[in-house]
Structure 1
């Protein structure tokens, strides 16, 4: 199959901005790793004009997908985990072109998972966890149990990913298989929510209590990244300044929920300044040491 695709990837490899090409082949009848395509071509380029270009091909009753992805987009996906297949593609794919060993270096970076990168990814994942947990808790309080179930299930998934990252690994598509061996307590919570015999409201109540404990125990280490950024300059931050900071942009819409949680846990203090409106104050934030 690689021979059939050679004209496609060779033309791409001749471009000076192409950093590497990886092939991922389908190995079983139903293979989510390739979205059930027979083969996936991952081409990483330095050009950032179009962060992600996808083309589909068909040949000899076979189907192929080509993903041309910018170096910056790959970096963003690795940090946020928003493209769940990327790590598996990079780890398991076959390198067929590697300019200046760029792909080899990327694989080594995934394997080593540098501490600074891990701390940042923990912060982003923790913010997602906080948002889903808070939404689920509010829905549970209003007795919207089915909707609460959905959010608590997503919160558990982020808790699982957080645990995997804390242990120095990148979360894979089969994250629960990883967690089963790394932190069986979290895996037990997951199975209890899915298969427990208690009424749904009782199962959710148990999960909320367990999540409360997990969040509290992880909050200090999980917020190291954002507190470090906040402490890099003297003075206070407005929310808008935090939202626009280059080092915090990956937190996105989850930043607000995370910040309020940090205030509640006394990891961040709120400072008020007067506005032109009588009795109305502007909130600013400062991380506690």
Structure 2
């Protein structure tokens, strides 16, 4: 397949804007990683008018896809985990072109997964987990059990990804296979949710109790990224936090994460007087630890 695709990627490799070219080939009886295509060409470029450009090719009875991705988009995918296949593509893909060892260095970085990057990914994944857990609890309390079930499944998935990241690995497409080895307790919760003969209400009730403990036990560690940033100054407005470049990726999950941390007595609200009587600005600060 590489020989067939060579004219396509060689043209790109000759351009100064191109950083790397990877070839990902479909494994026998397994097409999920390549979206059923026989091969995927991944080309990373410094700049692109659109974040991703995609082309499809066919040759006799084989098909291939070409993904041209900007470096900025690639970094965002790796940080947010919003493209689950990209880690597998980089880890397993064969390097066809590599300017200044860009892809070789990226592969090494993914293997080593430096802690400063892990800490941010842990914070982002934890915020998503809190969102799903708290929204699911509201549905459960209002007896909307199917909606609650949907949120609990997503919450467990975030908990699973979190466990993988905490152990120094990138979550793969088959994240539950990873979790089964790393934290079988979380895998067992997921298994019980989807296979138990108990009523959906009973299953959810047990899952919320178990999840509460698992979330509470790792809260301070998983929130360490945002807490360290907030300790840089005494008080924060919500706008200060949202506009901080180190927190921008928390996005819509930032508010509910703050509420969760207030509920756990890790962050406290500070009332600041306004011109109107009985109305206060609400600021936030990290609660001082008791000595």
TM category (shorter chain) comes to: over 0.9
CA separation in 1, counterparts of 2:97 and 2:114? 25
Per-residue CA shift, 1:161-215, capped at 9, x if unaligned?
0000001000000000000010111000000000011111000000000111011
Tell me, what secondary structure is at the counterpart of 1:135? helix
Checking the alignment, whether the CA contact within 8 Å between 1:19 and 1:46 is kept in structure 2 is: yes
- Pairing 1:284–2:283 present: yes
Paired position in structure 1 for 2:176:
176
Deviation for aligned residue 1:141: 0.4
CA separation in 1, counterparts of 2:262 and 2:48? 37
Distance 1:46 1:288, change over 3 A: farther
CA separation in 2, counterparts of 1:288 and 1:66? 51
Tell me, what secondary structure is at the counterpart of 2:218? helix
Paired position in structure 1 for 2:46:
46
Deviates more, 1:152-161 or 1:250-259: 250-259
Paired position in structure 1 for 2:59:
59
- CA RMSD in angstroms comes to 1.2
Task: After TM superposition, list the pairs within 5 Å mapping 1:47-196 onto structure 2.
Answer: 47-196=47-196
Deviation for aligned residue 1:277: 3.1
Deviates more, 1:275-284 or 1:220-229: 275-284
Deviates more, 1:260-269 or 1:150-159: 260-269
TM-score, reference length from structure 1: 0.96
Tell me, what secondary structure is at the counterpart of 1:32? coil
Tell me, what secondary structure is at the counterpart of 1:237? coil
Distance 1:10 1:207, change over 3 A: same
Paired position in structure 1 for 2:4:
4
Task: Tell me the number of residue pairs that the alignment of Structure 1 and Structure 2 aligns.
Answer: 288
Deviation for aligned residue 1:17: 1.5
CA separation in 1, counterparts of 2:244 and 2:70? 22
Deviates more, 1:151-160 or 1:70-79: 70-79
Task: After TM superposition, list the pairs within 5 Å mapping 1:27-38 onto structure 2.
Answer: 27-38=27-38
Task: After TM superposition, list the pairs within 5 Å mapping 1:139-288 onto structure 2.
Answer: 139-232=139-232, 234-288=233-287
CA separation in 1, counterparts of 2:246 and 2:53? 26
CA separation in 1, counterparts of 2:179 and 2:271? 42
CA separation in 2, counterparts of 1:222 and 1:48? 35
Checking the alignment, whether the CA contact within 8 Å between 1:48 and 1:72 is kept in structure 2 is: no
Per-residue CA shift, 1:69-117, capped at 9, x if unaligned?
1112111111111100010000001110011111010010000000101
CA separation in 1, counterparts of 2:9 and 2:213? 50
